[in-house]
Structure 1
Amino acid sequence: AFDDAVDRGWADPRRLHTEGRTARLLLEGARESFAASLGARTEEIDLLPSHTLALHAAVRAVARGRRRAGRDVVTSAVERAAILAAADFAVTQPWDGRTGSRVVIGVDRLGRVDGDAFAEAVRAPGVALAALQHANGEVGTRQPVEAVHEAASRAGVPLLVDVGASAGHAVLSDAWDLLAADAGDWGGMPGVAVLAIRARVRRSPDWPEDPERWSPGGVSVPAALAAAVALEMARSTRAADDAHRRALVDRIRSRVAAQVPDVEVVGDPADRLPHVVTFSCLYVDGEALVTELDRLGFAVGSGSACTSSTLEPSHVLAAMGVLTHGNVRLCLPPDVASDGIGRFLDVLPGAVRRVRDALGAGGL
């Protein structure tokens, strides 16, 4: 799909010549496909170059648009760093001479937000926006989005739902007012994110808005078309992929807990995404373990999923109150092979032991 769109959709879709009209048709076709896949109307779909930018745009524009209703933004403690940063930015902007606060709702040891506390927070006066992920991309735990959305709707507060880890991997509901999705997470080309906003949501961007879409300059037409096709494919094979990967994650969770000393496997063991698993090893440096596993041919993450390059302790794990040392995060692609998982599980105990020995923590 990408190659075909490069040949036919290379032109600027705002131009009136034949090539421009062709590119626009391809782009509009991608938006229609996204709308059908995500449960939105085509006119509610905007395309942006990155998931981070989509989250920033959603929080900033709605917080500003609803500033007369209030200046506070409610989030869970385990949202992506992009949402937390955008909320902190939005509540401190003196758009009307007032500022607000980011209200943080805690989670339990499985990483699930306290739904009752979240509902109480959105009912408080002065709330402009609430944000809750569909499921946590680091530990896989699903969130009570439907119950929170019902409470937010009764309070007249729009709910931003981040499905960056879920779209293409799990069934999504219509319990949202704003929806942000990341094409790269379901196998699309880099450089495309989807932001859906219900027509009833009031927004007021604090940047020069492009007449065509939120993101000035638009997005790559070939990348958008390829992302739409990839999402359709992911949805068509989701049931089989779910069963395959869920079984492998169950295998990883049980064997890691049984074979690696001083390890904590985190996240809900059942009500979770099918492809994400995270565990933490005591007396292990996360960077050293990632490097050792990379040497053995396995690319894994460590630290927060949204800030993994910093290798800082995960704010998600810290909010859960679980072990943050020696964190390893796996995200399994749909075509992951069972024998590859088997080899990973065979070499993992030795890798952890070598890292502990190198740090002088062997035998502790």
Structure 2
Amino acid sequence: MQTMPAHAAHHDDHEIETLEEFDAVVSARGSLAGFRVQAVDLTDRTRELLTTGAAGAVFLGCPMREDAAAKVRAEGALVFPPLPDLPFDPYRGHVYTPDELFASLADGYEATPDARAYAWLQRTKADRDVYASTLRALHDDAVSDALDELLSGARVVGVMGGHAMRRGTTEYEGAARLGRELARTGLTVATGGGPGAMEAANLGAYLAPYGDEELGDALRLLAKAPGFTPSVTDWAAAAFEVRERLPRGGRSVGIPTWFYGHEPPNPFASHIAKYFSNATREDGLLARCTAGVVFLPGAAGTVQEVFDNATPNYYESRGEPTPMVLVNRAHWTERLPVWPLLQSLARERSMEARIALVDRIEEAPEALKRLLG
């Protein structure tokens, strides 16, 4: 069974991200000096704020009463106020959950925080508003920090592939079985977090505690809404129906972006690190795949990911090269001849022993295991 470290166990000792952590610090230290309090509602902690030193503290998006805010400011604390009119929290201390991003789905996808954040991005990008770009950068940095905390100590395997793979196909089932098998070996499955091959791999990890019968039931139910067009609402609702019927889902990570706003995140990743900046997201996704990456057939985005991953392997800029397994020989040698170029790059370098091409998706886990040694 796949494991993932608990979120709060690994963050910086001077970060406070929950009320429980706030109370523990106040009780144990009697001072908030030097601490960073991130997106914690402190409206019910006025007495503590008024009686506890806060010199050098930073409060990021923490609701508090004005007298408490004035007191900590007077002591030299920095207070970044909450921004309630935004459809997202730029100071958030945790990655997203599917329930959070898809809240209000019953009113249509357009009503969800995910769709509203994309609409906000489109408006502010068109305005070239420096304030908005600062908020996007703050948000993405907070998400990266939360993702690092979440994955600390985890062995992460990436599964990359195109969004065009549809539910109800043998390819989709194969990708789901791949995600399930990888999760069952104790690896944390990470994907680009979108539809298609990415969703299938997250689905497989979600169904790691379940058998073939439940997998078959889930695949049949999902096939009723095979793609996120024409209706994201129906596509997402089918996924939540599977989650409701099979609630003991395994954990995995999706790392999508609002840059591709037409692609919704898939609801099977238990943890979703969604970014405004696609460049930050791409680099962060691949850098965190410490146990290697499996590349399923895809188009331009997946080709980009292959070489985004190959570059640090080639230069060994992240240390020892990580495994790369390409699936589907015809796709990667004929339709998009990525494999010959990858082989040429790897020749006589240490990454040469860390790349593999397999024909069938069922061969990928064994190839990955072999490359990991």
TM-score > 0.5, shorter chain as reference: no
Higher relative contact order structure (alpha carbons within 8 Å, sequence separation ≥ 6): 1
Structure showing the higher helix proportion among its residues: 2
Scaled by the length of structure 1, what TM-score is found?
0.29
Structure showing the higher strand proportion among its residues: 1
